[in-house]
Amino acid sequence: MVGKEAMSTPVMHSTEMKSFDIAWVREQFPSLALQYSRHTSAFLDGPAGTQVPKQVMDAVQYYFLGANANTYGAFLTSRRANEMILSARAAMADFFNCDSNEVVFGQNMTTITFALSRAIARELNPGDEIVVTTLDHDANVAPWRALEEKGVVIRQVGIRESDCTLDLDDLKRKISAKTRLVAVGYASNIVGTINPVAEITRLAHAAGALMFIDAVHYAPHGPIDVKALDCDFLVCSPYKFFGPHMGTLYGKKEHLEHFKPYKVRPATDASPECWETGTQVQELIAGIAAAVDYLAELGRHCDLSVKTRREALLAAYRATRRYETTLITRLIEGLQTIPGVKIFGITDPKRFDERCSTLSFRLGDHHPTEIATFLGDRGIFTWDGNFYALNLSERLGVEQKGGVLRVGLVHYNNADEVDRLLVALREFVAR
């Protein structure tokens, strides 16, 4: 690996990163070349699922070619399937900064969270409280609200509408001695706000509550360190960070061993496998490991001095964060010159460390679907609607009007795509 990189990249004399090699990045993603009606596709739809590098496609194929069997059999392909799952757990452990036995795989974040909320509910009593937020995707609200059936009280934290950030004073008021769990997103999948989850974890723990973080939207944009955060649970979905359609859960070992998942009798009681209901989508677990390895390869490409996979992941995120900030700056500056655009969330460049490169806006009275269709016809893929962050869409008063238009920039996007979007929007306005 190092040899290959040394051939294609200049040797670094310090640990300083070189400029972001977007050409190398884009080569890793074959689907970025997809043509649509004489246009090269511009994938600005990442928040609903990113494209995957060829390493991920190869890993899925490799699984089918040589490791396709159920686990714990006394033969070659079954042993390989076991080994593959162990190495995927190790990859996600580096991704989260935890131990391998604290990593659980599942169908997606929503399914994992419903399963976990039911397991935790076995120990809750009527009157116990759970704190959720108005900024969150409903997958981090509904699984907790479902416990109202058991008499659990849900407290919902509000936002500051001017910049779409969490109202921390309200959060402090809502956490009390009755709080058993605080469920907060790491970043908003509509407006891109990054929440102060470390601080919120401290507040939750000071009240004796568990902290559950939905990192689905944050994972493609920033490094996750569950040890530093000290959170109890954290979920994210590999299909949002360049991997296949699955979900993953980090749970502190003591909690994964203490809480009891609903499971079939013959399945193991040993954690973390007891949390993985039924046969897993093993070919996609192979793809998850490859997605983490892709990010690590990117990190080594950016910083030749890194040694471990974890260090390489951190280097990758340092580089992508810096690069994505240039893209979002360009996008916001451009949008602000288009008459009728109303951006939701943080637009002050001095506060860009509080946001990631996901942005939503409305354009006059136009229905977001009309704009997304216009852009889609020009090969520019964006999303319109509420993206299941229903509380926020309602709170911002856009739910009845088709929601917002969302532009998601990730590290494989480039300035050219941002400019194409801006030109197309000006064309839309001028029709």
Ligand X SMILES: Cc1ncc(COP(=O)(O)O)c(C=O)c1O
Binding site for ligand X (CB under 6 A): 108-110, 137, 139-140, 185, 189, 214, 216-217, 237, 247
- The nearer residue to ligand X, 185 or 272, going by C-beta atoms, is 185
Q: Is 417 exposed, middle or buried (0-12, 13-18, 19+ CB in 10 A)?
A: buried
Minimum Å distance from CB 197 to ligand X? 13
Please provide residue 103's backbone torsions phi and psi, each rounded to the nearest 5 degrees. Answer: -110, 125
Cβ proximity of 403 and 191 under 8 Å: no
Minimum Å distance from CB 162 to ligand X? 22
Cβ proximity of 214 and 139 under 8 Å: yes
Q: Which residue has the tokens 């299941």?
A: 388
3-state secondary structure of 251: strand
3-state secondary structure of 218: coil
Minimum Å distance from CB 240 to ligand X? 7
- The nearer residue to ligand X, 137 or 310, going by C-beta atoms, is 137
- The nearer residue to ligand X, 241 or 412, going by C-beta atoms, is 241
- The nearer residue to ligand X, 115 or 119, going by C-beta atoms, is 115
- The nearer residue to ligand X, 110 or 320, going by C-beta atoms, is 110
Minimum Å distance from CB 216 to ligand X? 4
Minimum Å distance from CB 271 to ligand X? 21
CA-wise closest residue to 262 among 378, 115, 408, 364: 115
CA 105 to chain centre: 15
CA 181 to chain centre: 21
Minimum Å distance from CB 143 to ligand X? 10
- The nearer residue to ligand X, 140 or 413, going by C-beta atoms, is 140
SS3 assignment for 35-56: EECCEECEECEHHHCCCCCHHH
Rounded Cα distance, 285 and 400, in Å: 39
- CB neighbours of 227 closer than 8 A, spacing ≥ 6? 97, 98
- The nearer residue to ligand X, 20 or 105, going by C-beta atoms, is 105
Minimum Å distance from CB 212 to ligand X? 12
